[in-house]
């Protein structure tokens, strides 16, 4: 059946003066208006389109790409407000409605708001909600340590940054594990550090401890290779601030990295610093 608010791959059933009728596997038809047809379509052709409902509640499709489909979060700008609610720029010809009951603050034209896009059970139309918490954490996450996820940064706190993980879960990226600030609204790749008992997820921006340490080892070796006599006056006794300023890492990771390099006989630990072993 047609998936409203999502991308569908449909087959061309027939062409008409005002577009083409596309058909799903169950024989349901939906119109693709002629303004979206760039190249001639022939009956039997398959085409990927986005399906939504028009102002009269009829399914219609487009080859335009919305900023978010059903089941996704996105930051969208308010285009207009009327007695029904706020209408957001959705990236397609039709704006996306946030009903008043789904707003956490009064929205006005020009504001940018984080919303969840969903299919309203009563009307079967695509709408949005700014009440994001009710759409997060409704199932327990089943991730392994180091699993790669997509994260949408949406709030800064005293501890760090809150993020939405895979459009499903609450996540946290801790300030003391970052070496550059994040931007609110930034979509990033992150890795699972821990799934807490409450279902919230601690994230890091590199692929677990091994990935961080391996990358740091290479940075240390590159830095030593560019230093006079291959010596750098920094060791495992250096202040955390010095380590952070030099290698943009925690002291814990730095100690791990130079420990690995020492055991691999690629560096020696000298008085007051580390020295590259010449091959």
CA atoms within 13 A on the CB side of 56: 2
Cα–Cα distances (Å) from 123 to 57, 74, 80, 203, in that order, read 8, 22, 21, 37
- Give the three-class secondary structure for 118: strand
169-224 pLDDT tens trace: 999 999 887 767 889 999 998 989 899 999 999 998 876 556 677 778 888 999 99
Instruction: Match 């790749």 to its residue by tokens.
Output: 189
Cβ atoms < 10 Å from Cβ of 271 = 7
pTM: 0.75
113-167 pLDDT tens trace: 999 999 999 888 999 999 999 999 999 999 998 889 999 999 999 999 999 999 9
Instruction: Match 């008043």 to its residue by tokens.
Output: 100
50-65 pLDDT tens trace: 999 998 889 999 999 9
User: Do 148 and 205 contact (CB within 8 A), yes or no?
Assistant: no
């Amino acid at each position: 059946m047609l998936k409203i608010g999502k991308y569908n791959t449909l087959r061309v059933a027939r062409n008409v003066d005002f577009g083409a009728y596309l058909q799903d596997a169950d024989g349901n038809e939906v119109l693709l208006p002629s303004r979206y047809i760039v190249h001639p379509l022939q009956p039997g052709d398959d085409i990927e389109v986005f399906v939504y409902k028009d102002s009269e509640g009829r399914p219609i499709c487009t080859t335009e790409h919305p900023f978010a489909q059903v089941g996704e979060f996105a930051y969208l700008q308010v285009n207009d407000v009327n007695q029904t609610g706020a209408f957001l720029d959705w990236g397609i010809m039709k704006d996306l409605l946030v009903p008043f009951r789904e707003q956490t603050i009064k929205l006005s034209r020009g504001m940018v708001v984080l919303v969840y896009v969903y299919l309203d059970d009563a009307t079967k139309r695509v709408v949005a909600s700014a009440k994001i918490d009710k759409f997060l954490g409704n199932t327990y996450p089943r991730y392994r340590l180091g699993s790669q996820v997509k994260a949408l940064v949406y709030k800064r706190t005293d501890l760090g940054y809150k993020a939405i993980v895979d459009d499903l879960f609450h996540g946290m990226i801790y300030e003391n594990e970052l070496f550059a600030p994040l931007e609110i609204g930034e979509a990033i790749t992150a890795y699972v550090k821990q799934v807490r008992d409450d279902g919230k997820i601690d994230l890091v921006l590199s692929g677990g401890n091994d990935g961080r340490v391996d990358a740091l080892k290479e940075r240390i070796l590159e830095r030593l290779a560019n230093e006079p006599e291959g010596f750098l006056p920094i060791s495992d006794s250096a202040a955390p601030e010095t380590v952070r300023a030099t290698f943009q890492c925690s002291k814990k990771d730095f100690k791990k990295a130079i420990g690995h390099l020492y055991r691999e006989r690629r560096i020696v630990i000298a008085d007051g610093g580390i020295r590259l072993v010449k091959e």
